[in-house]
Amino acid sequence: MRTINPSRCRTLNPWLSLMMPLFLGLTAAAAESDMEKKVAALLARMTQTEKVGQMAQINAFQGQIPDDLKNRLRQGRLGSMLNETDPNTSREIQRIAVEESRLGIPLIMGRDVIHGFRTIFPIPLGQAAAWDPNLVRACAAVAADEAAGAGFHWTFTPMMDIARDPRWGRIAEGFGEDPYLGSALAAAMVRGFQGDDLASPHAIAACAKHFAGYGAAEGGRDYDTASIPEGLLRDVYLPPFKAAVDAGVATIMTSFNEINGVPSSGNTLLLRRILREEWGFKGLVVSDWESMPEMIDHGFCKDLRDVAVKSLTAGVDMEMQSTAYADHLDDLVKSGVLSQDLVDGAVRNILRVKARLGLLDRQRLSGARPAGRPSPKALELARQAVAESVVLLKNQGSVLPLSRGLKSVAVIGPMADDPYEVLGTWNRDGQIEDTVTPLAAIRALLGSSTAVHYAQGLPYSRSKDRSGFAGAVEQARQSDVAVIFAGEEAILSGEAHSRAHLDLPGVQNELIEAVAGAGKPVVLVILAGRPLTIGQVSAKVQAVLYAWHPGTMGGPALADLLFGVVSPSGKLPITFPQTEGQIPVYYAHKNTGRPPTRVPLLMIDDIPARAYQSAPGDAARYLDIGYLPLYPFGYGLSYTEFRYANLRISSPQAKLGDTLQVSVDLTNAGKREAQETVQLYVRDLVASLTRPVKELKGFQKVPLKSGQTRTVTFSLPVSTLGFHNSQMRYVVEPGGFRVWVGGDSQSGLESGFEVVAP
């Protein structure tokens, strides 16, 4: 028997630690080289018809396989399909492609799995409110597993468009207004969908969209133009996409909008220079649905032939649904207008993704099966996601949490017992039979010991039928407390669902006011796909919980929150305006030459008649509502009290390449165990280009027991403090910086440091 010398092991272990990354890197490089050789060999065998075919993606035919589709499959003239939900049809489509075409190249089957497949999680904006990348990753992994089981290989998400205008309906699909938070969550969602191995039967390819600047559409109108200086584009709108690329995202989708006069599907700066050359992206770029021919309406292209030229030149590899490539690429190459290399490059990108998915090795062709009911683990994760995403905005007199010993509770409102509306926008595959509504969950939690009185009040959120008001008020009078579930239906947010007015639709405000007039404590729960202007109505109630559209397990999680099973920990990922006239309103604004202050300024009602108000009123704000939002970015209350103390920075000076340590002591001074999201903000005080008043540079979600104190430390690399200067170079300039650590973007302890030249 061989004796092992422990000292020898201790000597070898450091070498093993050093060599293992090198070994893994060599292994990965070898695998990538083999994949590239396989792709190159396949590409060399393809005809031009088969190459152009790989660049085409079409929508499914609702469980049918028309003869024309069969012919396209046999001729190799199709690379991908989306939205084929019938498993038998999906399997047959793949069989024809593999067994009856010359080269047997499978299709990539795509589906919009935006915030869940069968198990519906909170909308992405709601998930962002949890400020928890690990949670977002876990939710995406469940969605990937369910979608892959149904035969899908590709989802068209995450949407990481930075959005600062809540009128835009698609704000529901993104992560809010901040590039730092958006980057962390974008990378997490990509890793959740794709896992450690994209060829795994439990993984699907993610798609970073919409590249780029879609969230900056003028007026919050979907599909509208965006004017974004390149520095702002690089500092605010592109970082989440770069984070997704660094996380290994397999695909990128172009956006519908133009940026500075150039539509995204023909934008060489975005797709060639930044994405390919600067970032080294090797995946697949797909257009959005018919976004390529829409460049004709933009006034950027003359006809479909021109569309094909400009899109391929810019770097679009696959065309979704429209036919510019299929109709014109062959002739454009033959006539010398486009080079063969451009076509080959696009097809190589497509085949590379198919290889990563395991499709070229036939690893994933028989997986399509009917979607089953959500698993208990999936439902428990969905419940946790809701519990962590709901934001407590108001809790006057600590009316929440409600006691489970109440004799009676009135549950009121059009959103209280609707199993569909809680699922939110872009719910393609969730089923209402899986949904537990808030009313059902409250009844289940309280049991028979508490009377639960229910009144719908309104038949749906947009209704103006007041006939149910009297019944709702009566139920409130008979109860110890009234809980009103209000908001906007799922149809009111999402793509092409922008709103000019952001108040509660219909006559919900009147319903809430009427119920509040019953004289009992009122808790308002808002279910919505965007920030709403709820300032006036929230003033009439004692507590407000903002639940977004929470998904399948919204009801049980909300019951847990209302009755104190868990404490709210959500924080706003976007600023809430007082009124639409403040938009855009966001925390990382510029200071201006006449910044507003918290010193009271003259308001419109205080100005004397025929008077000219001079300096005291001259500031960047509004005469009628001031400058502060209704609720700031990062805001969210708890059932306990968190106290911050003893902010310190490891050094008063730092150079490029250094990393500062920023620490604070956090205490749970209340009586309940809870989580607090500690946020780190920085301001560059003087720069060659003016900088925002604050920028998020770190966050940590910290659980604390009652009475517990914990030191929270952030590592702050000096390299992260830079911006793109007027030459579009990323620079960190010497000078003074301020630091804040606290519970939202308008509070916290403050200190400072200086960046010095090397």
The domain spans of the chain are: 376-562, 642-755
pLDDT at 644: 98
Tokens for 731? 């620079």
Q: Which whole number is the average pLDDT over 733-742?
A: 98
Assess contact for 568 and 390: CB atoms under 8 A. Answer: yes
Assess contact for 255 and 291: CB atoms under 8 A. Answer: yes
Q: What pLDDT band is residue 8 in, cutting at 50, 70 and 90?
A: very low
What class, spelled out in words, does domain 376-562 have in CATH? alpha beta
Tokens for 434? 């899986």
Q: What pLDDT band is residue 3 in, cutting at 50, 70 and 90?
A: very low
pTM of the model: 0.95
pLDDT at 523: 98
**Total residues found in the chain within this entry:** 758
What span, in angstroms and rounded, lies between the C-alpha atoms of 134 and 120? 17
Q: 487 or 625: whose pLDDT is higher?
A: 487
What span, in angstroms and rounded, lies between the C-alpha atoms of 220 and 169? 8
User: Does position 612 have pLDDT exceeding 60, yes or no?
Assistant: no
Intra-chain end-to-end CA distance of the chain, in Å? 59
Q: Which whole number is the average pLDDT over 682-693?
A: 98
The 10s digit of each residue's pLDDT in 275-320 is: 999 999 999 999 999 999 999 999 999 999 999 999 999 999 999 9
The amino acid at 751? S
pLDDT at 623: 85
Q: Rg for the chain (alpha carbons), in Å?
A: 28
pLDDT at 21: 65
pLDDT at 744: 98
pLDDT at 386: 98
Assess contact for 326 and 357: CB atoms under 8 A. Answer: no
The 10s digit of each residue's pLDDT in 435-476 is: 999 999 999 999 999 999 999 999 999 999 999 999 999 999
Least confident of 217-221, 302-306, 619-623: 619-623
Burial of 311 (0-12, 13-18, 19+ CB in 10 A): buried
φ, ψ dihedrals at 28, nearest 5°: -65, -40
Half-sphere exposure of residue 705, counting CA atoms within 13 Å on the CB side?
A: 1
Active site residues: 288
Tokens for 272? 């060639």
Q: 364 or 548: whose pLDDT is higher?
A: 548
pLDDT above 70 covers a percentage of the chain that reads 95
pLDDT at 6: 39
- Decide if domain 642-755 falls under CATH 2.60.40.10: yes
